[in-house]
Amino acid sequence: METARARQYLSGLSGKMRFALGDEAAAYGALVGGCTFFAGYPITPASEVAETMAQELPHVDGYHVQFEDEIGSIAAVIGAARAGAKAMTATSGPGFSLMMENIGYAIMTETPCVVVDVQRSGPSTGQATKPAQGDVLQARWGTHGDHEMIALAPNSVQECFDLMIECFNLSERYRHPVIFLMDGEIGHLRERLAFPNLADVHLFPRGDFDPADEPGLIKPVREYGKGEAVHITGSTHKEDGMRDVVSQDVHESLITRFCAKIDRNRKNIIRYEERFMEDAETVVVCFGAASRAALGAVKRARNEGRKVGYFRLITIWPFCQEKLAGIGRRINKILVPEMNLGQLAREVERFVSVPVVRVSKIGGVPHSVEEVYAAIVRETS
């Protein structure tokens, strides 16, 4: 929504209802979130994000470019972002792996941008058309070196839209790449999407500061085109941007600030959903596609009088460790249904002392309500 023309065009969506794909909803969230540049490379199950952006960006004075690969795509996204645009790409596991080096570049240069990863079954080509949730740790640790990460995971078509706007706002606010950790199940799910009144949507302007954030950790954005000879480098650099790759203290203070700007503002970034938690003795911790079956299973268990709670991570990274540690002190057991072999469970285990039971399922078929319910019955009997 950068220009008058874009506002005029997108205002046609205000208050409308649509039967949309998750991928399409993510694309519309990006457009409403102010995105005017998309670069990507075709890959299942993320291609519909690119197709929607290619169709809509020309109407909002924006640009879609299909690149020769995912490395070039994320490079162009960062270039466009440095040139002043809100920019994004969308891919799946194989392409996400290729993007890792330049995601690190975006961290190092404090460049806002959004990377959508519509997760599919891996490693390698795996089950190319089947959904999975196997990139939880790649999102966190895929690029080399010390860093934090911001990653959000939707579990509905509506959230693909709503959280995408959040992704852009967070990336601008923290001058950091944000991963939108979708999955093939949600990306290819078709359900109701209700557009808000666009006048009510808050967009975080480039270079702005939020008074809620700890002062000093987030720096002014150095913009091109102002005659300031701005030097941006992926090398370790001093406050003025000039390279210094030999001084231990320069590197240490730079990287610890990058980490602190996310870590010390965790409370401003983290979002989650909790239900049936008041008297819960067992809690199902989940995110994304698996959380839909989890909620059905928890409701069924509740109907039968089992004291089971539901806790869904919306922000995957930074991790909601204080919250989970608090839950862990009140309950007896945690179940983690996820479409991988325990990547989220592994992280949960680090912060609680109660048993964490994996309810993993891989192979491209999401959990059924019955499967999660059976695990609840087994673990609470």
Partner 1 sequence: MREYKHKLLGYLRREILPTTHCPGCGCGQVLNAFVNAIDDLEIDPKNIISVTGIGCSSWIPSPYLKCDTLHTTHGRAVAFATGVKVIRPQANVVVIAGDGDLAGIGGNHLIHAARRNVGLAVFLVNNYIYGMTGGQVSPTTPFGAVTTTTPYSNAEYPLNIAEVVAAAGANYVARWTTYHIRKLIAAMKEVLQKKGFSFIEIVSQCPVSYGRRVGLRDGVAFMEHFKKSSVGVGTAENMSEEELEGKIVVGKLVERDRIEFTESLRRINESCQGRAAGE
Closer residue to partner 1 in complex, CB, 258/276: 258
Closer residue to partner 1 in complex, CB, 5/271: 5
Closer residue to partner 1 in complex, CB, 8/197: 8
Distance from chain centroid for Cα 277: 25
Residue numbers of the site for partner 1 (CB under 8 A)? 5, 8-13, 16, 18, 36-37, 39, 56, 58-59, 61-63, 65, 67-69, 71-73, 75-85, 87, 101-102, 105, 224-235, 242-243
For residue 380, the minimal CB distance to partner 1 (Å) is: 47
Closer residue to partner 1 in complex, CB, 239/322: 239
**CB within 8 Å of 267: residues ≥ 6 apart:** none
Closer residue to partner 1 in complex, CB, 57/280: 57
Give the C-alpha separation, 56 to 41, whole Å: 17
For residue 223, the minimal CB distance to partner 1 (Å) is: 9
3-state class (DSSP) for residue 192:
strand
Closer residue to partner 1 in complex, CB, 71/365: 71
| Residue recorded with tokens 């992280």 | 347
Give the C-alpha separation, 128 to 183, whole Å: 12
Give the C-alpha separation, 69 to 215, whole Å: 39
| Residue recorded with tokens 């240069």 | 109
CB atoms within 10 A of CB 8: 12
- How far CA 155 is from CA of 112, 144, 245, in Å, comes to 24, 29, 42
Give the C-alpha separation, 46 to 38, whole Å: 13
> What DSSP string runs through 363-375?
SS-PPPHHHHHHH
Closer residue to partner 1 in complex, CB, 36/138: 36
As a whole number of Å, the end-to-end CA separation of the chain is 54
Q: Are 118 and 45 in contact (CB under 8 A)?
A: yes
For residue 105, the minimal CB distance to partner 1 (Å) is: 5
Give the C-alpha separation, 182 to 310, whole Å: 20
For residue 145, the minimal CB distance to partner 1 (Å) is: 13
For residue 75, the minimal CB distance to partner 1 (Å) is: 4
Amino acid at 79: G
Distance from chain centroid for Cα 76: 20
For residue 245, the minimal CB distance to partner 1 (Å) is: 11
For residue 51, the minimal CB distance to partner 1 (Å) is: 15
For residue 57, the minimal CB distance to partner 1 (Å) is: 8
Closer residue to partner 1 in complex, CB, 25/285: 25
